[in-house]
Amino acid sequence: MSVKGAHEIYCCGARVRISENGIEILSEPLIEYCPLHEALYGTKKIDVDAVRKTVEMKVAGFGFCCANRLFDAEPIVAYGASEMMRFWLEKKLIDCAVVVGEGTGTVITANGKLVQSIGARLTGIIKTSPIKEIIAHIEGNGGTVLDKANAQIDQVEGVKRAIKLGFKRIAVSVAGFQAKAISEIRKFEEETKADILIFSVCNTCVKEEDARHIAKADVACASASKILRNEIGTKAILQLGVTIPVYALTEKGKTLVLAYLVEFKDKLVIFRTKMLPYQTENKSPKLKKI
């Protein structure tokens, strides 16, 4: 499989450029070990070479950033944003999802399988360029691409477009490095009386100033961030998982997360606590010492 266009993503906290000229690691990874990454990619020690191999696996394995990209709707992780959004759409708990894909930028869709097939194994997309074959697949499966000419990533405009398309209950994913969009969406929601669930994702690289925006989300994935665990986890009213915890921060988020768990197939342990986050040191990602 060959890459088309130019794209930048975060992988394990490293900034990576993927283009027709190859894969270029632009910064050092922030993580030295992650249990989830080991489970998905078999990597025990994360360094520049490991990041490169991970991205190569994405390109070779499912056509990431390629014209013949595979769209597999099988679940990858237990508590992923795309997994939950797919469920919410299929159970008619929301009307549409606003997500991001490589080769397309912001996408609006009511097709749960499409949400999952876009989001499976996806990491934070910083910028992307249009890939006509991917756009054609999205449009052929009930998706609307916000900006076909430039593959713009703009979740605020994506939500506005969703409302113009007639959707009332909207779930939107916002990457941590674009956290300001959460506050913009909340302001827009208040002005329009829209019903918007915000899912904060890809938070490994967040900074202190991002946390005040992420605190306004309904659901937030901690990724490998200590900031998220320390500042957002303490505000949670429900936590899913321990290795890469996902926090419900509002009653709306809690309600939808619990609905997802109703039909979750694995066994669960549920217990009360007076304080979150719940953490066990040996199950958390290890950040590099700076």
Please check whether residues 30 and 100 belong to one and the same domain.
Answer: no
Q: Please check whether residue 288 lies inside any domain of the structure.
A: no
Q: Please check whether residue 282 lies inside any domain of the structure.
A: no
How many other β-carbons are positioned within 10 Å of the β-carbon of residue 38? Answer: 14
**pLDDT per residue rounded down to tens, the chain (290 residues):** 799 999 999 999 999 999 999 999 999 999 998 888 888 888 889 999 999 999 999 999 999 999 999 999 998 899 999 999 999 999 999 999 999 999 999 999 999 999 999 998 888 999 999 999 999 999 999 999 999 999 999 999 999 999 999 999 999 999 999 999 999 999 999 988 899 999 999 999 999 999 999 999 999 999 999 999 999 999 999 999 999 999 999 999 999 999 999 999 889 998 899 899 998 877 778 777 65
Domain-terminating residue out of 15, 38, 70: 70
Q: H or E element: which one contains 117?
A: helix 112-119
The contacts found for 47-50 with CB under 8 angstroms, 24 or more apart, are: 48/14, 50/12
Write the DSSP symbol of residue 283: G
Please check whether residues 185 and 56 belong to one and the same domain.
Answer: no
107 close to 155: Cβ distance less than 8 angstroms: no
Please check whether residues 184 and 110 belong to one and the same domain.
Answer: yes
Please check whether residues 105 and 145 belong to one and the same domain.
Answer: yes
Q: Please check whether residue 289 lies inside any domain of the structure.
A: no
Domain count of the fold of the chain: 2
Beta strands 219-221 and 195-201: pairing type?
Answer: parallel
Q: Please check whether residue 287 lies inside any domain of the structure.
A: no
Beta strands 246-248 and 219-221: pairing type?
Answer: antiparallel
Please check whether residues 241 and 109 belong to one and the same domain.
Answer: yes
| Chain CA centroid to CA 105, Å | 13
Q: Please check whether residue 159 lies inside any domain of the structure.
A: yes
243 close to 79: Cβ distance less than 8 angstroms: no
pTM (predicted TM-score): 0.95
Q: Please check whether residue 140 lies inside any domain of the structure.
A: yes
Please check whether residues 153 and 176 belong to one and the same domain.
Answer: yes
Distance (Å, whole) CA 153 – CA 141: 20
